[in-house]
Amino acid sequence: MEQGLREGTIRNSHRDTHAVKAKPARKEAVQAARALIERCSESGTVIRQHLDIERMKQPLQKGLFYVIENDSNADPGFLVFLPGQQAPTYINTKKHGGYPCTLRMRVSPTLGDGGGSVFVATLDPIQHTLRLEDIWMWKGDAIFDTKGYSERRKHLKEFVEHLWVPDARLLGGVTVSILNPKSMAEYLPSFGLGHMIEFLPEMPARRRMWHRLNESERVERAPMVVGEGGVLLPGPRTQPESNSRPAPRPAPRPAPRPESRPEPTPESQATRRALAKPVGSLPDIYDLYDEQGQPISRASVQAFSLAQEMRKNKGDLWVNIRWRPEFGGYEIQSISTAA
């Protein structure tokens, strides 16, 4: 991820045990902010929707997705920068999401140009965190319906590097961070601790989809298996015996996959050729084999245009791959034209 985004995290050693008590926003500011939010997308103001575990395979096959891991119950809302107002207004669109409030931030007044800017952000008053996640409108330009997530993220990078001066004292001890979603390849090797996962589409005008991992207990690290509908689930765990709880239905066994080899040496990290076999239950994920038919590992496609091209083949395909040490796996870079 970009260096500027990594450096946009505020650390504060003070952490109050009570919930944040933000200043309620003025009625006029709330009305103006809601009106601006309504202009962001022709399809409405819904940020995310529930992903039906039984039907998740089909939507995940339509485009490139990133994974968001959440450890909080807080719902995302909108952070609105209005013309002539230094402090943005935060609005949670959920029915019981709390009152609209004003957040004191040191930002450039140019964010109000063209009518204003609208960010997607999650304010957690219990954990004292504010996570900046996406941009739906940039200086009056409604970009959610017209630009993919990667393009919208460039504006977020510009905000962090040039238009915002972090000041934890001004925010009353709230820790601000920038969302860094994972690629599918980064998420597959392990199943981290979390409360909920979301799939964030690269394509414009597409809502995030969320799936709750566990309703009542912390999710332990476990091997990944493919459950019904292609959903990623932790491997089986021993459940305590109880007369009041029905036995959990076991997840179907995943299809065989090649075992991962040790991390390549620096000499072998150049681009190499491999046979890619699609994993039917996972979008844009392939099992890789070398020219002798020996398994290499599992890999993902990150470029949307390449993903579309490979889907047209609907079968095994020779590709060029490269080791990516940042997430400990291979990435498919292009279709091989070698004979």
- CATH code for the domain of 292: 2.40.50.140
Looking at the predicted structure, is the pLDDT value of residue 233 above 50? Answer: no
Is 30 in the same domain as 133?
Answer: yes
Is 145 in the same domain as 270?
Answer: no
**CATH number assigned to the domain comprising residue 120:** 3.30.470.30
Q: pLDDT tens digit string along 61-86? A: 677 889 998 888 889 999 999 999 98
Is 282 in the same domain as 169?
Answer: no
Nearest to 134 by CA among 154, 116, 115: 154
Is 157 in the same domain as 270?
Answer: no
Which H/E stretch holds residue 291?
none
Higher pLDDT, 110 or 23: 110
Query: What is the count of structural domains for the chain?
Result: 2
Which H/E stretch holds residue 215?
none
Q: pLDDT tens digit string along 88-112? A: 999 987 766 678 999 999 899 999 9
Structure tokens at 248: 């959990």
pLDDT of residue 93: 77
pLDDT of residue 58: 65
Tell me how far apart the alpha carbons of residues 210 and 191 are, in angstroms, rounded to a whole number: 16
Is 160 in the same domain as 301?
Answer: no
Is 144 in the same domain as 31?
Answer: yes
Looking at the predicted structure, is the pLDDT value of residue 285 above 60? Answer: yes
- The pTM of the full predicted model, rounded to 2 decimals, is 0.61
What type of residue sits at position 70?
A: N
What type of residue sits at position 223?
A: P
pLDDT of residue 119: 98
| Residue 338 CB coordination number (10 Å) | 6
Q: pLDDT tens digit string along 286-331? A: 888 988 888 888 777 777 678 778 878 777 889 998 887 765 678 8
Which of 134, 155, 178 is at the close of a domain? Answer: 178
CA-based end-to-end distance of the chain = 35
Is 36 in the same domain as 148?
Answer: yes
Task: Provide the domain limits for residue 94.
Answer: 23-45+75-178
Tell me how far apart the alpha carbons of residues 221 and 185 are, in angstroms, rounded to a whole number: 17
| Ramachandran angles phi, psi of 160, nearest 5° | -65, -40
Looking at the predicted structure, is the pLDDT value of residue 198 above 70? Answer: yes
Is 174 in the same domain as 290?
Answer: no
What type of residue sits at position 321?
A: I
Q: CA 145 → CA 58, 113, 134, 152, 207, distances in Å?
A: 22, 20, 13, 10, 10
Which of 151, 178, 205 is at the close of a domain? Answer: 178
pLDDT of residue 269: 59
